[in-house]
Structure 1
Amino acid sequence: MTQDANEPTGSPFTAYERRKASSDSVMNNPLGGHFGILGLSAEAWLAAIVENSDDAIVSKTVNGIITSWNRSAERLFGFSAAEAVGRHISIIIPDDRLHEEDTIINHIRNGRRIEHFETIRQHKDGTLLDISLTISPVRDKNGEIVGASKIARDISERKRMVERQRLMLREMHHRIKNLFAIVSALISVSERSAEAPGSSFANDLRARVAALAAAQNFVLKESEGGSDGHASTSLFGLIDAILSAHQDKNGARIVVSGEDVSVNNAVLTSLALLLHEFATNAIKYGSLSVNGGRVEIEVSRNNGLALTWTEVDGPPARVPEGAAGFGSELERMTIASLRGSLRREWRPDGVRILVEIPDQLPRR
């Protein structure tokens, strides 16, 4: 491109860009060759645009010495213009990224523009910044490359959003994989018990899958409510989501007490199945099968999660006779997957179930 003889050395704009800005503004400006009521020249107007740009705009020599530094560069990197101009551009480059400057300078010396180069730069206080760089050669009036202009845009927030999305996708993948594994196990166990007297394969399986769906819906609402992608869920909230259909209008039929703890979402579906099994048995045989019966759930932390399910004012609890049924087999598998323990106490007015789950749970 032919250079204007009046083009100032080190200008971050080409003669064509200045002429274009000038002609466009004259066409739209009744004051003629000046810009607005301030009476700025084209060069001064463009300099004002650079100074007030939301992007950090920096110019430097081919040797990397900073020659201009706008206000956004001050905000982004922490150095004032007085501190930065005259110093080497490496003041904002981390040690492990210094090699990038050699590559950039080689491109500039060969007249090549670099667009949207994502990298890391450094604030005056040492904080690392994710930025996107666009770098253009700057030529003198003879067309010789004498430096470069850099536009730096902070993309830290965008990077954080991408990372949050990546973590959420990983969590979703893990959760869906667990759901498929659990549903597969449900079908296998249900199939084995389908021929038992009084069994209702379809209804039992449908109810258990519905419990899983309730748990997942609850987690989704928690995430939309601002959990910021953290992979944990309120246990009290989960209990309410699974058992609310069995609660009375006064909230007295199922009473939850103790410490509300955050439950790792990796084990949430397993806990949902356990709660569903406990409630199903209570409705069929326990305290929820009679008027006035109730369930008391107590949660505590003691080197892990401890949950006690106590049925009160119900029929006497009796040890089941014969082989373990569908629900018992499902409980056994679920507790095993959590590396936890479960034991029952058979009491005159209802069963008491004690569940303990260790703090550190391996991801499957």
Structure 2
Amino acid sequence: MDGTTDQAGLGSTRLEHAAFHPTDAALFQSELGDRQVLDALAAAVYVTDAAGRITYYNEAAAALWGHRPALGQAQWCGSWRLFWPDGRPLPHDQCPMAVTLREGRPARGLEAIAERPDGTRVPFVPYPTPLHDASGRLVGAVNMLIDISDRRDAERAAQQLSAIVESAEDAILAKDLDGVITSWNSGAERLFGYTPDEAIGRPITLLIPADRLDEEPEILRRIRAGERVEHFDTIRRRKDGSLVEISLTISPIRNAQGRIVGASKIARDITERRQAQEQQQLLLREMDHRVKNLFTVASSVVALSARSAGTVSDLTSAVQGRLSALARAHALTLSPASDLEPAAQRSTTLHALISAIGAPYDDGPEDVGARIAVTGPDVPITGRAMTGLALLLHEFATNAAKYGALSTPTGRVDVACSEQPDVFCLEWTERGGPPIGGQSTSEGFGSLLARLTVTSQLGGELSRDWRPEGLVIRLSVRRDRLTN
């Protein structure tokens, strides 16, 4: 043993066998114990002399640097290369350890990045501290390097999550177990109208209509029990007082100890989805209504044809002719099937449309249009208005064939047209049909469909008058809606 340790920083005093005094032995044991403690630390620690030359480093420091620098030669820091957090190169003689040795004070509150020989970069926080002897002279410094890779990863993940939440189309918010809002993203602001400053810190009941306040205690009960509430469809209130249909997904929020401390909510506006579902149901009901009507009308067409047919051949010809006319009339009620048939290119006149709708119910080829007589001014019809009016007139004629004037051999329909500024009017009057007992007390699907067509598509009004001698329907539509 030569009396010198292999890493000079903690054991540079030479110990001669001949002069091994008990005091020296105590000093040696103290220094040896200090080194064993530092070697056992999980944090990277190294020591330099006053000139910045590294005299000691522990295993954690070697692992952080990715290599073992030569003692007494490497200066200020043992890392292969150094960088500032923004990626700019950091010269070793400007690193926190060099500043500490140069100014004789701890250089704290800084971060840096150490690059290993294999190119791996490790973010760390240094804690350099100057060392002085008994007289106060600077003799070196000790530095501890804390690897903050996990913290950086957590911060990066949190930033990414925050960016995802903030940019999400859905409303995402959080509340504590008292129901107080604690976070609020831009999607929530768009959906509910409140800014984060207006919402955070206020009770979640801010968004709940009075008739649904009982939902919140039940939601909080389930959250406290650790349950997740998925796809809960409900209604919430916006800042302007309007109501919006939403689908809620609610999940418990747990702290680091696993204790439930709140709930996160994802709210999605389902107004369009509801409207699409309602539209789908409307179309299915319309299809069912049309199919039933067609079977009923087809039966009426056969019965009507049989009254005037003298032979089987005559009956066959009459039925075929009327069914073909019925098919043509029904086709008018359909919207264009594709862009190859633009709605604007489909056109006719109101009188021609009524004649096409009434053709299946005529008594015979020589009396075309006799059972449905049209008087008054004519008007052109183009675009989607043609489909809407055809649907209405088809509904009128079908009901007349099932229950009204066209269900009897002598029944007739008079259609009187008239004009007013910006409005076109039509009055459908049935006569010669079965007696009418009174006004219907319920609105059937056909009547509902007709009313929606008139109000929403044609911008008009529709009324019915159930007279004993026959039904009278009054229809008024905006002229500008007849050509779009």
TM-score > 0.5 by shorter chain: yes
CA separation of 1:86 and 1:307: change in aligned 2, threshold 3 A = closer
For 2:279 and 2:162, the matched residues in 1 are separated by: 38
Contact kept? 1:179, 1:269, Cα under 8 Å:
no
Equivalent in 152, 155, 179 of residue 294 of structure 2: 179
Equivalences for 1:273-352 in 2 at 5 Å? 299-300=417-418, 305-306=426-427
Larger radius of gyration: 2
Gaps of 5+ in 2: 1-119, 124-148, 340-347, 360-364, 366-373, 382-387, 401-414, 437-463, 476-484
Contact 2:417 2:425 in 1 (8 A): no
Q: Work out the number of aligned pairs and report it.
A: 254
Q: What is the Cα deviation at residue 109 of structure 1? A: 0.8
| Corresponding position of 2:322 | 208
Deviation at 1:267, TM superposition (A): 4.7
Q: Match of 1:268?
A: 394
* 1:169 Cα deviation after fit: 2.3
Q: Which residue does 1:160 correspond to in 2?
A: 275
* 2:274 partner amino acid: K
CA distance change for structure 1 residues 209 and 333 in 2, over 3 Å: closer, same or farther?
farther
Pick from 55, 68, 72 the counterpart of residue 183 of structure 2. 68
Higher RCO (CA-CA < 8 Å; seq separation 6+) = 1
TM superposition shift of 1:121: 0.9
CA contact (8 A) 1:57 1:152 kept: yes
Distance in 1 separating the partners of 2:268 and 2:233? 9
Partner of 1:146: 261
1:282-328 Cα deviation digits (max 9, x unpaired): xxxxxxxxxxxxxxx973379973479xxxxxxxxxxxxxxxxxxxx
User: Retained in 2: the 8 A contact 1:305–1:357?
Assistant: no
Q: Is the 8 A contact 1:212 1:269 kept in 2?
A: no
Q: Distance in 2 between matches of 1:55 and 1:64?
A: 20
User: SS where residue 44 of structure 1 aligns?
Assistant: helix
SS at match of 2:258: coil
Tell me by how many angstroms 1:64 deviates: 0.6
CA distance in structure 2 between the aligned counterparts of 1:76 and 1:164, rounded to whole angstroms: 23
Q: Quote the Cα distance in structure 2 between the aligned partners of 1:237 and 1:138.
A: 68
Kindly indicate whether the alpha-carbon contact (under 8 Å) linking 1:208 and 1:273 is maintained by their aligned counterparts in 2. Answer: no
Name the structure 1 match of 2:201.
86
Q: Could you state the TM-score of these two structures normalised by the residue count of structure 1?
A: 0.58
- Give the CA deviation at 1:266: 5.6
C-alpha displacement of 1:178: 1.9
Following TM superposition, by how much is the alpha carbon of 1:189 offset from its aligned partner in structure 2, in angstroms?
A: 3.1
Task: Determine if contact 2:427/2:474 at 8 Å carries over to the other structure.
Answer: no
What is the rounded CA distance, in whole Å, between the counterparts of 1:140 and 1:103 in structure 2?
22
SS in 1 for 2:231: strand
- The answer to whether the 8 A contact 2:377-2:419 is kept is no
Retained in 1: the 8 A contact 2:428–2:474?
no
Give 1:128's aligned residue.
Answer: 243
Cα deviation, residue 72, structure 1: 0.6
TM-score (norm 2): 0.44
Aligned-residue RMSD, C-alpha: 4.5
Shift of 1:177: 2.0
Which whole-Å deviations, capped at 9, do the CAs of 1:170-210 have from their partners, x for residues lacking one? 2332222222211112223333444x269711111111112
CA contact (8 A) 2:349 2:379 kept: no
CA–CA separation in structure 2 for the residues paired with 1:273 and 1:104: 51
1:125, distance to aligned residue in structure 2 (A): 0.4
Indicate the SS of the match to 1:258: coil
Question: For residue 18 of structure 1, what is the aligned residue in structure 2?
Answer: none
CA displacement at 1:222 relative to structure 2? 6.2
> Hey, what does 1:321 align to over in structure 2?
none
* CA separation of 1:339 and 1:216: change in aligned 2, threshold 3 A: farther
Task: Report if the CA contact (8 A) 1:339-1:358 is conserved.
Answer: yes
Q: Any conservation in 2 of the 1:78–1:124 contact (CA below 8 Å)?
A: yes
Contact 2:351 2:378 in 1 (8 A): no
Quote the Cα distance in structure 2 between the aligned partners of 1:224 and 1:95.
Answer: 47
Whole-Å separation in 2 of the counterparts to 1:265 and 1:32: 74
Shift of 1:138: 0.4
What percent of counterpart residues are identical?
A: 42
- Say whether the 8 Å CA contact 1:93–1:120 is kept in structure 2: yes
Q: Could you tell me which of 285, 290, 305 is aligned with 1:190?
A: 305
Counterparts of 1:124 and 1:52 in 2: how far apart (Å)? Answer: 21
Post-superposition CA distance 1:234-256 (Å, at most 9, x none) = 94673486699x9xxxxxxx999
Structure 2 letter corresponding to 1:265: L
Relative to structure 1, the CA distance from residue 340 to residue 267 in structure 2 (aligned partners, 3 Å threshold; closer, same or farther) is: farther
CA distance, structure 2, for counterparts of residue 199 and residue 359 of structure 1 = 40
SS of residue matched to 2:214: helix
Residue 111 of structure 1 and its aligned partner are, at CA, apart by 0.5
- In structure 2, the partner of 1:58 is 173
Select which of 91, 108, 116 maps to 2:231.
116
Residue 258 of structure 1 aligns with which residue?
378
